[in-house]
Amino acid sequence: MLVGGGPAHAAPLDPVDPTAPTAPGAGGDTISVSVNGVNGTPSSSLVVLLGITLLSVAPSLMLMVTSFTKILVVLSLTRNALGLQGVPPNQVLAGLALFLSLFVMAPVIGDVNEIGVQPYLAGELTFSQAVDVGSGPLREFMLAHTREADLALVTRAADQPNPEDPASVPMLTLIPAFMLSELRAAFIIGFVIFVPFLVIDLVVSAALMSMGMMMLPPIMVSLPFKLLLFVLVDGWGLIITALIGSYAGGG
């Protein structure tokens, strides 16, 4: 039996001197961030990040610096000249324009990969150097298919001095000028495609008017003749050959 137990007292602790600070670099845990991997090559994480970024801007680049816009516009104008609304579908025209663009741009893409992408992945070039070197083939392609009048138009619109030579044309000026030239060439090809089908429509309309069949839509009669003419002359083959040939001679 405990009788009159008093409060317990802890034994006093001896004071301890504080730990001296560690000098920088003398040890301890450190955190470092490096964009380069082994032997100076870019790290895999950075390559994946650049790949995802490139995929996100790939549609815009395809529209601005390749032959995709011109080919798609010409194919769409061909469909309208035939009087067809949804045949071929937009997906088919876009897919055909995509693969034709890859066929036309294959030499340029190969040069970009050879002089820009592969040296960067091998650690021989920095990212900025790879971008500057890799944009060279694209610049040459766009300059070869851009009219001087369009370059002058964009330069005046931007209130910039006239470039001394093609190499000094900035990309912000070259890209819209290239797109204007591509649209102009596409509309010229579309006009040539429209003319024979317009003649068929006029002949059919005149024939229906002479027979008093004014209530019958001319498109219902002219469409089979236009399709027959397009198949007999191998229209798709002629159009694709003309599109590819327009890039073979530098403009």
* Residue 42 bridge partners (DSSP): 36
pLDDT at 1: 47
Only one residue has tokens 């392609």, namely 141
Distance of alpha carbon 234 from alpha carbon 131, whole angstroms: 42
**Amino acid letter for position 89:** P
Asked whether residue 161 is domain-assigned, the answer is: yes
Mean pLDDT of the chain: 80
pLDDT, tens only, 176-227? 899 999 999 999 999 999 999 999 988 888 888 888 777 777 778 888 889 9
Tokens (6 digits) for 4: 């009159």
H and E: helices and strands count for the chain = 9, 0
Asked whether residue 19 is domain-assigned, the answer is: no
Asked whether residue 230 is domain-assigned, the answer is: yes
Asked whether residue 13 is domain-assigned, the answer is: no
Q: Are 70 and 99 in contact (CB under 8 A)?
A: no
Alpha carbon 59 to its chain's center: 4
Classified as helix, coil or strand, 42 is: strand
All residue ranges of the chain with pLDDT < 50 are: 1-2, 26-27, 31, 33, 251
The angle, 0 to 180 degrees and rounded to 10, between the axes of the packed helices 127-144 and 171-210 is: 40
Asked whether residue 185 is domain-assigned, the answer is: yes
Length of the chain in terms of residues written: 251
Distance of alpha carbon 118 from alpha carbon 129, whole angstroms: 12
Classified as helix, coil or strand, 36 is: strand
Torsion angle in degrees (nearest 10) through CA of 47, 50, 54, 57:
170
Closest CA to 197 of 238, 235, 226: 226
Asked whether residue 207 is domain-assigned, the answer is: yes
Q: How many domains does the chain have?
A: 1
Range of the domain at 114: 42-248
Asked whether residue 67 is domain-assigned, the answer is: yes
Tokens (6 digits) for 84: 């067809």
